[in-house]
Amino acid sequence: MEQNKDMKGFLLFSDILYGIVISSTFRFIEPTLTKPALIFIIISIIIIFDDWLLYHIQYKKIKPSIRFFATSSLLDLIILTIWFYSFLITNKNYQDNGQYYFWIGVFYIFTSAWEFIFSGATGTTYRGYLDLVCASVLFSFACIWHHSLCINHSEIQILFIIIAIRSLVWIDIVFEKHFKFFQVTDDNK
């Protein structure tokens, strides 16, 4: 699909925002990091990289407009701020995983909002629903962690759960296995 010239500057703006936020996490990688802290940094980078790639895929389907630019810019700033905040919380106090799970859950709520707001243009809502499932799982982990029922090293478990959920999106994209029950339908066609 050919990129619309009117939106080229916007794409570069969003890419710069994602690049700044992602690259700022690399300064926290040090030889003295504990293995669990390094795992959280890797998980965080995977989560935001997944969001960035899906943003590019969805972006190509949307007709450029001032409304899209304003709404998407606002949501992108909120999404990136929440993601970076969750990263900083964990980096400063690895022992408080509950806050990390909570804020990454909030991150997925906003990525879901992005998907639903632009679902008319992108033709899909299932990614929004899967983001809500991710948020629910993360909120559950946050509650469990808060009530001290969590077993040690749950970050590996959460990574596998989120990867399993997100893999449905990637199966759709890579293998074009569309989930018809999540598709937005246009009755006018």
Q: How deeply is 90 buried, as exposed, middle or buried, from its count of CB atoms within 10 A (0-12, 13-18, 19+)?
A: buried
The amino acid present at 139, given as its one-letter code, is: F
Distance of CA 116 to the CA centre of its chain: 14
Beta-carbon contacts of residue 98 (< 8 Å; ≥ 6 apart): 141, 142, 143, 145, 146, 150
User: How many whole angstroms separate alpha carbon 52 and alpha carbon 187?
Assistant: 31
Count of C-beta atoms within a 10 Å radius of residue 77: 12
Choose the weakest-confidence range: 4-13, 43-52, 133-142: 4-13
Q: How confident is the model at residue 65 (pLDDT cuts 50, 70, 90)?
A: confident
Residues 50-75: b if buried by 16+ CB within 10 A, e if exposed: bbbebbeebbeeeebeeebbeebeeb
- pLDDT above 60 (res 16): yes
Q: What is the band of 95 on the pLDDT scale with cuts at 50, 70, 90? A: low
**Global confidence as pTM:** 0.77
Q: SS3 for 176? A: coil
> What is the rounded distance in angstroms from the CA atom of residue 122 to the CA atom of residue 52?
16
Is-contact 96 90, C-beta < 8 A?
Answer: yes
- Domain spans in the chain, listed from the N-terminal domain onward: 33-182
CB 123 within 8 A of CB 11: no
- Tell me what the pLDDT averaged over the chain comes to: 76
Residues 25-39 have pLDDT tens digits of: 888 888 887 777 777
Q: What is the pLDDT of residues 130-161, one digit of tens each?
A: 888 888 888 887 777 665 555 455 666 666 77
